[in-house]
Amino acid sequence: MKRCVPLESAAETLCNQSSVPPLIFQMPPEKGRRILEEMQDTPVYKYPADISSVCIDTGMWGSIPVYFIAPKDKKIKNIIFYIHGAGWVFGSFHTHEKLVRELSARTNSLVVFPEYSRSPEAKYPIAIEQCYFILSQIKEIIGECFSMLGFTPLIVAGDSVGGNMAIAMALMSAMRQGPCIHRLLLYYPVTNACFDTPSYCQFAVDYYLYRDGMKWFWQQYTASLKDQNQITASPLRAGIDCLKCFPPTMIINGQADVLRSEGEAFGEKLRCAGVEVTALRVQGTIHDFVMLNALDSTNACRTAMDASTQWINRLCQCPFTEDRNN
């Protein structure tokens, strides 16, 4: 088909494949989960890593697996608390393994990866409360599993709805006087339950992530419009004063993505709040382009991974202050 935005060939192929009915959001959640898991069986290079996991009880929010991805035979310089995307409904450590291995290896970071309870079984705010519990206890949790020497910078990161929840971590940490987040890395984040933005209108169908698909994901995650209006669900609705405490933030968006407008709008709002923002729009690609194994070798994915790992490595050479609880 002729597109209003030309795509890299691998992204074009994926769009065509994913446009064949029934679409993933038209299936029962369990079937959609299996399809994404199988998609991510596509062979891809995975950076060497030491991987372990524990099950952690988050109290009233339930027990969840937490994975640790450590660089192979390298000193740990940073901690990356990574929250996965895939619509709050799909996604797992398996679907994001190649991505977090690369982040770990290229930044000498210990990646902490909570496998939160998914929707529709777990409605807002269960997943963010589970993630925040892990984040708030991260020093104790890591201390039981790893020997950390001295102070280690904390980066919170996520893709898509994981980016949405990463923003929620920054808001919740500020509101609850939680751990100090030193950097925030967001790949094509969800920031607002609004479906009439320019990118939603331009890429509503046939660009992998459908507008109707995002409406469905929001319906699975939230029980009401009141939930959707909360700033920990739609952070673009947060006031400027709520954002002034945010750490330096990188936001990477894809050109042909329904979420592009809201991701870029959130970056602009952070700048208005005086936050240091690095923003990048990657051309010729679609949603999920840093996560999907099939798009790993595209220029878009390589550009985004180069930019984000270099950003972490550069900024994490700067001096930090310890967290507000110490």
Angle between helix 93-107 and helix 299-315 axes, rounded to 10 deg? 50
d(CA 264, CA 186): 11
> 71 burial class (0-12, 13-18, 19+ CB within 10 angstroms)?
buried
Nearest one of 277, 278, 302, 294 to 102, comparing CA atoms: 302
Among 84, 96, 182, 287, the one annotated catalytic: 287
Catalytic residue among 257, 261, 288, 296: 257
Query: Backbone dihedral region of 103: left (phi > 0), alpha (psi from -120 to 50 degrees) or beta?
Result: alpha
Is-catalytic flag, 287?
A: yes
241 annotated active-site: no
**What is d(CA 154, CA 26) in angstroms, rounded to the nearest whole number?**
38
CB-based contacts of 163, cutoff 8 Å, min separation 6: 83, 85, 157, 186, 187, 188, 189, 190, 191, 263
SS3 for 233? coil
**Residue 99: CB atoms within 10 Å:** 26
Q: How many CA atoms lie within 13 A of 17 on its CB side?
A: 10
User: Is-catalytic flag, 173?
Assistant: no
Task: Please give the positions annotated as active site.
Answer: 160, 257, 287
